[in-house]
Structure 1
Amino acid sequence: MCKRKFWKLYTADLLRYAGKPERYIKKLLYFFRKAQTSSGINKLIYKFLLKIHRAKHGIELSCNTKVGKGLYIGHAYNITINERSILGDNINIHKGVTIGQENRGKRKGTPVIGNNVWIGINAAIVGNIKIGDDVLIAPNSYVNCDIPSHSIIFGNPCVIKHRDNATEDYVNNRV
């Protein structure tokens, strides 16, 4: 069962890349999905390999993070994703993105991100917020409020603009 789940998630991730993904991305996704779906000593081995690979490329991504199928990491460096965050299917994450936790106040907690979401370079998403499906988060945006589906987000504080098919031509090769 675990083997089947691994291959389903891993191949879905690779299908998101139009051509051939960079070798380090392929390895990162392989170790990430193996660490998620393995058990016992194999889980420990893949967690260790993931840890080494994450450190080498500056990507903080825990095998405990719930990530749907079709994860796309573009320009992968300096990415931080809190392990309690939940990410849906067909998520695009780019360089410098932070998906983090808020430690106090009314938004104490971590984000839940829907399906078909494009997150631009250096965007920060923090707190116990919900981001809907088909959302485009522009580069350098700071998001700390709930975002409805079919929206484009930009700026600090975040400005929300409704748009049907917001991620059309941004989130490609959906699985």
Structure 2
Amino acid sequence: MEIPSTTQIGPGLYLGHAFNITVNEAAVIGANCNLHKGVTIGQENRGKRKGAPVLGDCVWVGVNATIVGAIMVGDDVLIAPGAYVNCDIPSHSIVVGNPCRAIPRENATEGYINRKVEL
């Protein structure tokens, strides 16, 4: 597992089956986010998305999902296992596939966020 101490992480981070998780030091992870086995949160090194992702609050990231580039992932977003996310994702969405597709869904992470802390 690679999560640098310099990474900005909000309270309530939950690492489910914490194996092979890689987070770029420039990434930002909001409050009450869940990362599962095989997740990569990485940077793009060139082009219009050069940089690392910013995840909002209450983001659930499934097994083997990859999130890359200087993109914004909103609050209350469920990223399905295996999804490849390299574009901005609005709040209250479920993200599937490669290329990714965001499906609007109120309370997208309801029942999914583990060990949520009250802010």
**Is residue 121 of structure 1 aligned with residue 63 of structure 2?**
yes
Task: Give the drift of 1:173.
Answer: 3.4
* Counterpart-to-counterpart distance in 1, 2:85 and 2:95: 8
Task: Give the drift of 1:141.
Answer: 0.3
* Counterpart-to-counterpart distance in 2, 1:69 and 1:174: 9
Structure number with higher helix proportion: 1
* Counterpart-to-counterpart distance in 2, 1:173 and 1:163: 22
Aligned to 1:146, what secondary structure does the other structure show?
Answer: coil
Task: Give the drift of 1:143.
Answer: 0.1
* Aligned CA-pair RMSD: 0.6
| Aligned counterpart in structure 2 of residue 168 of structure 1, from 107, 110, 115 | 110
Q: What amino acid is the match of 2:27?
A: S
Aligned to 1:157, what secondary structure does the other structure show?
Answer: coil
Q: What amino acid is the match of 1:101?
A: Q
The percentage of aligned residue pairs carrying the same residue is 65
Structure 2 gap segments, 5+ residues each = none
**Is residue 159 of structure 1 aligned with residue 94 of structure 2?**
no
* TM-score of the two chains, using structure 1 as the length reference: 0.66
| Aligned counterpart in structure 2 of residue 72 of structure 1, from 14, 17, 33 | 14
**Is residue 63 of structure 1 aligned with residue 20 of structure 2?**
no
Residue 29 of structure 1: aligned partner: none
Task: Give the drift of 1:79.
Answer: 0.5
Structure 1 gap segments, 5+ residues each = 1-58
Asked whether the equivalents of residues 96 and 102 of structure 2 are also in contact (C-alpha less than 8 Å), the reply is yes
Poorly superposed stretches of 4+, deviation over 6 Å = none
* Counterpart-to-counterpart distance in 2, 1:108 and 1:61: 20
Residue 43 of structure 2: aligned partner: 101
* Counterpart-to-counterpart distance in 1, 2:42 and 2:84: 11
The higher-RCO structure (CA 8 Å, 6+ apart) is: 2
* Counterpart-to-counterpart distance in 2, 1:173 and 1:109: 30
Task: Give the drift of 1:88.
Answer: 0.3
Q: What amino acid is the match of 1:116?
A: C
* TM-score of the two chains, using structure 2 as the length reference: 0.97
Task: Give the drift of 1:174.
Answer: 1.8
Residue 145 of structure 1: aligned partner: 87
How many residues align structurally? 117
* Counterpart-to-counterpart distance in 2, 1:124 and 1:171: 19
* Counterpart-to-counterpart distance in 2, 1:142 and 1:63: 25
